[in-house]
């Protein structure tokens, strides 16, 4: 039981580490481009992902496992905002699917605490996905007019 759950928790932690790095890289790039509002939102989301990574590490340690410190993917830099939003949407959609599946497996493994942890992470991930999708839709519909609202 525990090894399977620890593997799921570490997979999730690896995903969170990728998201942290990706969103902070985008935060720095958007800040440099004068898009303070968008940059600030990405920083806030990255901080939420940091908290997720910490919760996952604490649970792994409680189960006598060793938390991973390796992200599951490389950071994509220098993308246009529309492309970076698609990157973010893919990260969040993948996390939602994985965390839903992981919660089901944790229940089958009779680990209700890990199941609840995955369920709690899902709520934040769904909010992040919604933000990225709505922002992408606004840019698609309104173009440069919307992008100006993301600036300082």
From first to last of the 152 residues of the chain, give the pLDDT tens digit: 689 999 999 999 999 999 999 999 999 999 999 988 999 999 999 999 999 999 999 999 999 999 999 999 999 999 999 999 999 999 999 999 999 999 999 999 999 999 999 999 999 999 999 999 999 999 999 887 887 887 76
**CA dist list (Å): 151 to 35, 96, 131:** 4, 30, 17
Beta carbons within 8 Å of 130's beta carbon, 6+ residues apart: none
pTM of the model: 0.93
Count Cα atoms within 13 angstroms, Cβ side, for 42.
27
Q: Are 64 and 10 in contact (CB under 8 A)?
A: no
**DSSP-derived 3-state class of residue 76:** coil
Which domains are seen in the chain, by residue range?
Answer: 2-66+79-149 (1.20.1260.10)
Helix and strand numbers, DSSP H then E, in the chain: 5, 0
- Copy the structure tokens of residue 50: 């940091």
């Amino acid at each position: 039981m525990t090894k399977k759950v620890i593997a799921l928790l570490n997979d999730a932690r690896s995903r969170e580490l990728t998201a942290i790095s990706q969103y902070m890289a985008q935060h720095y790039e958007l800040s440099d481009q004068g898009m303070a509002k968008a940059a600030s939102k990405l920083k806030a989301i990255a901080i939420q992902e940091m908290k997720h990574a910490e919760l996952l590490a604490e649970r792994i340690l409680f189960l006598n496992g060793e938390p991973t410190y390796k992200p599951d993917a490389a950071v994509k830099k220098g993308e246009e905002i529309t492309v970076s939003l698609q990157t973010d949407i893919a990260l969040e959609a993948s996390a939602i699917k994985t965390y839903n599946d992981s919660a089901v497996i944790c229940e089958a493994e009779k680990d209700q605490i890990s199941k609840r942890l995955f369920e709690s992470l899902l709520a934040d991930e769904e909010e992040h996905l919604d933000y990225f999708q709505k922002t992408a839709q606004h840019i698609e519909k309104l173009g440069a007019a919307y992008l100006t609202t993301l600036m300082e």
